[in-house]
Structure 1
Amino acid sequence: MRFSHILPLVALSAAFVVPNEQVFSELSIDDTTHARANQGAWSEQVLSELKHDFAEAEKGIKEASNNAKHALDEAFSSVSDASSSMTTKFQETAFDAKSWFESNANKAYEDAYEALDNHGDHPHHPPPHHKDPHHGGPHHGHKPNETVWQLLSSSKYTEKFSKLISEYPDLVEKLNSTDSGNFTIFAPADSAFPDHDPHHKPSKEMIKKFLEYHISNDFYPAGRVLITHTIPTLFEGEHLPGKAPQRLSVHLGLKGLTINFYSRVVAINVFGTNGVIHGVDSLLIPPPRAFKIIDLLPSEFSTFELALGKTGLLDAYNSTDHPSGTLFAPSNFAFQKLGPKINAFLFSEYGRKYLKALILYHTVPDNVLYSDAFVKAEGHDGIPKGHWHVDLPTALEEHSLSIDVGRYGGLIDIKVNAFSRVSVQDGIAADGVIQVVSDVLIPPKKLNGAKLRTSNWFGSEKELSLEEFKARFEPHVERMIDL
């Protein structure tokens, strides 16, 4: 397997050696918050239940309200006692794949989704044109008098992070400017940084990308973070369409509020004149490619990975030059739901072409669909609240996936072909995103040459027959070159 493009980032992790078992304590959180149909009620409930998690950090901020210079120190010191019992997670893969897959917030909110909307029959229409919502400066009890850079550079808890930033004058200028908009910084505490190892020093270019991945050029105070799934950063994704910003993933679960599923938010809402700082307990490392994430989870995706190998697509998916996009990855359980006959056929010599067509149908090149953002070669859009629809062309010629996204505050539901739910969202990858689907996706059947409405094609069938399955792919298989 070739992962040479992420080796510099692995070297970066080696350059900062985490002190053995240097720890922050776990921030406890009450039982999983029940979903609320009303956005205001939902966010109010979540904020209420997180109150005890951040009480000490907020206390530190309030006590420093008349002295902005020490606000960040106060926020970090208020959780310093807790910092002695939680192991900092830092994986060479730069992605906590297991935590991502186990996050599955949809399970907790599924009843609420069903009560709110089953997505019914929606008209097909292109993505609406809209502008990103305006987010003004900080709203809080006192007016800050220092920039986010001044706060970072004067804090005794972020000396290592600010020292690295200071080596890049353009970053310092940006974070010190009040004319460049409002920034959000996820600042790792000094205890998150390993001891310096001169034998594993990455290039300045790699270090800068690492720093940029901790900074967003948009304003995300804690309340907005709580209802956000992904956050764009200053780090341009080399393998994303149009070098779009690489994103951070936000998750609220039993571990508390985490970034990229492993880095805990331990201090919030340290406001500067040009943005806000949140403290995190682990370094944020840009993620690996999508296939690497799949490879890390054999207990969930071994059937899918076997299919890639059987069809000769493994090398293509694992290469550094394949197009970015969205991978709708079926889990082992999704394949199991097809039944033994279809599975036996797919992995036989005769069924190999059908298997390849199936894999191509789950792959959307050049379009990256996160749960709350849509990135295309010509630009990117947010996804509005309420219902939103898009048809995504797949790698299987002349076939698209019908996508419906429902947003209700911080709750997001994604359905494919009106029936299959995205069960695990936003596996952030260097070359796009993974959306795990609850069913193996199969093209809609046709009647008299016309495609049926996707809402009727599979939902009422307990198990698709082998003959029907083959009929869905027959025209494309006939045109395929022998494998």
Structure 2
Amino acid sequence: MKLSVFLPLVATTATAIVLVEDEVMQQIAIEDHSKQNLFHQIEANLPTKDQIKHTVEDVLQISKNALDDAFDWASNGFSAAEDYFVEEYFDAKNWLACSMEELDHQDHDGPPHHKPGRDRPRHPPHHKPRTSNYTVYELINSSKYTTKLAELINDDADLVKLLNSTETNFTVFAPTDKAFAKIPDHDKEPSKELIKKVLSYHVSAEFYPAGRILVSRTVPTLLEGKYLSADPKDTPQRISTSIGFRGLALNFYSRVVAVDIFGSNGVIHGIDSLLLPPPSATRIITLLPSEFSTLELGLRKTDLFDALNSTTNHLGGTLFAPSNWAFTKLGPKINAFLFSEYGRKYLAALLSYHVVPNQTLYSDAFYSGGSSDVDNLDRHRIPKGQFHVDLPTLLEDRYLSIDVGRFGRLIDVRINGFAHVAVPDGVAKDGVIHGLTNVLIPPKKIGSSYEQYQGEELSVEDLKERLDQFVNDAGESIQEPNRHDL
């Protein structure tokens, strides 16, 4: 097999074509037949030896074909809607588009059991999930829809052993053969190390059936977070999830086309596009000029861009990224001042207030970077309900007060009691990005107390007053991220 389909994964600016399905796949299941009174019928219905043999063979074959059945179902749905398919190119815009789509989807959804409208399908009947005596590896290896994935896994003895292990329940996001066909072919073969990273990014060591994914914003994977902490094994790289009118998607572009194929040691979900390990936070910003060109310009003018882009300076981090609209709301006078030569040091101080080094806060997980200010979280999970944390920024002695409200999939992240995260969980290899529609303004010191900014109109003098104490000719009060601050 020619494995050079993976080459575009190295260059994160490359595009991958995804297909938009009109029908969201439902759970593949079997009927739950009522139990009969065996005590009254056992004597009259004792099976013969051959009957027992054939019954066992039938059950094993049904289990073995569970994955094929799920993809058959998906394939049939695709064929019926083939004329309506739209080809899309994946780029960073999906992070923004899918987040907005998810909000629209939540706003328009009715109650859980509302009556369907005209031409809308009724809810499928509730069934018990189809289970299998085969491991997730055996199911993938025997399926006619995952032959390319199986071939790659079979080249990695450690991964074969892992996916056959019954010590834990795994979750595998299995790209179909059609997913591989979307990647352009190249002459150069990718390294085994690269292939291993990509495959690891499709597997979670935790059990995530569809119901759990639906209430999770991110999912940990086997891919170690090399740039997320000093202990990469403890801070796995994560996949983000989103729900929109086209169903469930991973990392905003890979559509889930079959769910809950249960093996003896985990669950498989079929996906229509390979999951690419994410680029750096600064790279994501550069890929979205329509949203973050002002932020990128500011980071470059103040040399913060290079500092953030260097993984030798920090391990993990959270970037609260104001959109172009957020800067526009400051007004032309403040923007003219900040982007002038004289205002550059104030711009550096302001942007430093948006960067949290060494601590990575997702909307449902937190890699604290060894901070003693946060109690130990169960596998880094942010608990349901209310969660509060004060995050240090690059601006000396200035913290961001973060409140996270979690209620199922509904999550609200509020900063300093005023600003809300508009677009959460832009997963990056060296942290996470949260999109904002407001620029974060440091608090004003009044006597011995501080007054937080609450969105009131600012003048240039007001802004300078808040930033003066952090500004000098050498810019010494602005801290570069330091990985040794862990």
Please say whether Structure 1 and Structure 2 have the same fold, judged by a TM-score greater than 0.5: yes
State the shift of 1:163 in Å: 1.1
Alpha-carbon deviations, 1:170-219, whole Å to 9, x = none?
1111111112x110000000111138957221111110010000000000
The equivalent of 1:119 in structure 2 is: none
> Aligned partners of 2:9, 2:94: CA distance in 1, in Å?
22
Q: Report the secondary structure of 2:21's partner residue.
A: coil
The equivalent of 1:364 in structure 2 is: 356
Alpha-carbon deviations, 1:358-378, whole Å to 9, x = none?
111100000001000001333
> Aligned partners of 1:161, 1:100: CA distance in 2, in Å?
26
The equivalent of 2:290 in structure 1 is: 299
C-alpha contact 2:327 2:335 (8 A) present in aligned 1: yes
> Aligned partners of 1:161, 1:240: CA distance in 2, in Å?
28
> Aligned partners of 1:256, 1:300: CA distance in 2, in Å?
25
Alpha-carbon deviations, 1:43-97, whole Å to 9, x = none?
xxxxxxxxxx224x62689999871100000000111134464467665xxxx31
- Among 268, 273, 281, the alignment partner of 2:259 is 268
C-alpha contact 1:54 1:267 (8 A) present in aligned 2: yes
> Aligned partners of 1:166, 1:425: CA distance in 2, in Å?
36
> Aligned partners of 2:130, 2:367: CA distance in 1, in Å?
37
The equivalent of 2:390 in structure 1 is: 391
> Aligned partners of 1:102, 1:146: CA distance in 2, in Å?
38
Aligned CA-pair RMSD: 3.0
The equivalent of 1:332 in structure 2 is: 324
> Aligned partners of 2:220, 2:385: CA distance in 1, in Å?
21
> Aligned partners of 2:94, 2:185: CA distance in 1, in Å?
29
State the shift of 1:140 in Å: 4.1
Moved more, 77-86 or 467-476: 77-86
**Which amino acid counterpart does residue 396 of structure 1 have in structure 2?**
L
**Which amino acid counterpart does residue 156 of structure 2 have in structure 1?**
Y
- Among 297, 300, 309, the alignment partner of 1:318 is 309
- Among 245, 266, 273, the alignment partner of 1:282 is 273
Q: 1:249 and 2:243 equivalent? A: no
Alpha-carbon deviations, 1:107-132, whole Å to 9, x = none?
549989xxxxxxxxxxxxxxxxxxxx
The equivalent of 2:215 in structure 1 is: 227
The equivalent of 2:75 in structure 1 is: 80
**Which amino acid counterpart does residue 412 of structure 2 have in structure 1?**
D
State the shift of 1:328 in Å: 0.3
The equivalent of 2:179 in structure 1 is: 192
C-alpha contact 1:61 1:71 (8 A) present in aligned 2: no
- Among 195, 204, 211, the alignment partner of 2:192 is 204
Total equivalences in the alignment: 412
The equivalent of 2:400 in structure 1 is: 401
**Which amino acid counterpart does residue 437 of structure 2 have in structure 1?**
S
The equivalent of 2:380 in structure 1 is: 381
Q: Which structure exhibits the higher relative contact order, with contacts defined as CA atoms closer than 8 Å and separated by 6 or more residues?
A: 1
Structure with higher Rg: it is 2
Which structure 1 segments of 5+ residues have no match? 1-6, 29-52, 113-138
Q: Report the secondary structure of 1:77's partner residue.
A: helix
Q: 1:218 and 2:189 equivalent? A: no
> Aligned partners of 1:408, 1:99: CA distance in 2, in Å?
24
Q: Report the secondary structure of 1:78's partner residue.
A: helix
Identity %: 52
> Aligned partners of 1:152, 1:74: CA distance in 2, in Å?
12
The equivalent of 1:474 in structure 2 is: 468
Q: 1:70 and 2:65 equivalent? A: yes
Q: Report the secondary structure of 1:199's partner residue.
A: coil
The equivalent of 2:335 in structure 1 is: 343
The equivalent of 2:115 in structure 1 is: none
The equivalent of 1:58 in structure 2 is: 28
TM-aligned CA distance change 1:418 to 1:467, over 3 Å: same
Alpha-carbon deviations, 1:258-296, whole Å to 9, x = none?
011111000000001111000000111101111111111
C-alpha contact 1:54 1:266 (8 A) present in aligned 2: yes
> Aligned partners of 2:367, 2:292: CA distance in 1, in Å?
25
> Aligned partners of 1:77, 1:340: CA distance in 2, in Å?
57
Q: Report the secondary structure of 2:426's partner residue.
A: strand
Q: Report the secondary structure of 2:472's partner residue.
A: helix
**Which amino acid counterpart does residue 206 of structure 2 have in structure 1?**
D
> Aligned partners of 1:336, 1:431: CA distance in 2, in Å?
28
**Which amino acid counterpart does residue 390 of structure 2 have in structure 1?**
D
Alpha-carbon deviations, 1:403-458, whole Å to 9, x = none?
00001111000001110000000001111100011210011112112223x4xx32
**Which amino acid counterpart does residue 412 of structure 1 have in structure 2?**
I
- Among 146, 152, 158, the alignment partner of 1:164 is 152
> Aligned partners of 2:398, 2:473: CA distance in 1, in Å?
14
**Which amino acid counterpart does residue 247 of structure 1 have in structure 2?**
R
TM-aligned CA distance change 1:60 to 1:292, over 3 Å: farther
Q: 1:458 and 2:454 equivalent? A: yes
C-alpha contact 2:29 2:130 (8 A) present in aligned 1: no
Which structure 2 segments of 5+ residues have no match? 34-57, 109-126, 371-375, 479-486
> Aligned partners of 1:348, 1:480: CA distance in 2, in Å?
17
C-alpha contact 1:25 1:83 (8 A) present in aligned 2: no
C-alpha contact 2:170 2:204 (8 A) present in aligned 1: yes
> Aligned partners of 1:149, 1:348: CA distance in 2, in Å?
59
> Aligned partners of 1:103, 1:467: CA distance in 2, in Å?
39
C-alpha contact 2:256 2:270 (8 A) present in aligned 1: yes
Moved more, 365-374 or 312-321: 312-321
Q: Scaled by the length of structure 1, what TM-score is found?
A: 0.79
Spell out the pairing of 1:85-104 with structure 2 (5 A cutoff). Answer: 85=82, 86=85, 91=90, 96-104=91-99
The equivalent of 2:445 in structure 1 is: 446
